[in-house]
Amino acid sequence: MDDLLTEFLTETNESLAVLDVELVHLEQNPNNPSLLNNIFRLVHTIKGTCGFLGLPRLETLAHAAENVLGKFRDGALVVTPEAVTLILATLDRIKQILAELERTEAEPAGNDADLIARLDATAAGKAAPVAAKPAAPPPPAPVAAA
């Protein structure tokens, strides 16, 4: 594996571990500017490195998350548990892509439009569309009395 890619995977996985913890702290302390700055900086670094390495899928996801975090940082959006959960879901997707990148040394094909649409809606101050849920099974048919 290319040394640059190996270093990227190591550093990004370390950053993601820090982000998981920092986002939990953010939910508890939503008005902590140094915490917001650190979270923003880590995501910004991931996005920039993805761009440098030519990893457009990862870059697009990180960019959409960065937009939301930037709005938090600038005070344009209020930190909510739902928004933090959405950022955590984005980090989970990034981890999945990184695992495949580590396994195959190539960014996997895929479509993250669902997640990006939710992030973009949140950044715009709109309620994020909820991911489609499977339909509930129909109620059981009544049993005819014999």
User: Rounded CA gap, 30 and 116, in Å?
Assistant: 23
Residue 144 belongs to some domain of the structure: no
Q: What is the C-alpha to C-alpha distance for residues 62 and 141, in angstroms, rounded to an integer?
A: 48
Q: How many domains does the chain have?
A: 1
Kindly state whether residue 129 falls inside one of the protein's structural domains: no
142 lies in a domain? Answer: no
**Residue 75 domain flag:** yes
Q: Is residue 50 part of a domain?
A: yes
137 within domain boundaries: no
Q: Is residue 104 part of a domain?
A: yes
72 is a domain residue = yes
Distance CA 72, CA 33 (A): 9
Residue-wise pLDDT tens digits, 28-82: 999 899 999 999 999 999 999 999 999 999 999 999 999 999 999 999 999 999 9
CATH no. for residue 96? 1.20.120.160
What pTM, to 2 d.p., does this model score?
0.83
